[in-house]
Amino acid sequence: MTSTEALRCKKALFERLAAQTGPGLPLAGLQVAYAWPGRTAERECVYGGGVRFTRASAGHDGTGELWLETTTVGLYVRVAQPGAQVEETDARTVEIGAVIEGVLSAQPQLAGGYTYVQMSGGTADYATDDDGPTSVLSYQVTCTYYLD
């Protein structure tokens, strides 16, 4: 049995989102990264965070026990907009989040046999500096799959 597929699942999730950033696609022009991109972060950025996983027995497949693993991936939507109000950057994070949810719901099968299940929760926060506000909407994205 594989120890966990959680990090491969996270990679498949962000590859799916990155594939939707081209011209005319739902996330056109949006920066998508597997992890926080640091100094190269653009004003609108979606990036991955920590990963949690659980597993439960799903029975036997004739050669051994079959396991169902559930992974929860931190997904962050960050919007920084000089001169804006916090309400504007907050609203934009929610708008981007809704598009992400739509993309994943429309085609829940990810590469590698992983299945998007839901946005199972999250938080929102902001910070301000002399340039303006930065809002971050944090989602917990849940996926499931079977382990070999």
Domain boundaries, the chain: 6-147
Quote the pLDDT of residue 1. Answer: 54
Q: What is the DSSP string of 71-94?
A: EEEEEEEEEE-TT--HHHHHHHHH
pLDDT band at 3 (very low <50, low <70, confident <90, very high): confident
Quick one: average pLDDT of 48-77?
90
Quick one: average pLDDT of 20-39?
97
For 6-147, CATH number out of 3.30.2000, 2.40.400, 2.40.128, 3.30.450 equals 3.30.2000
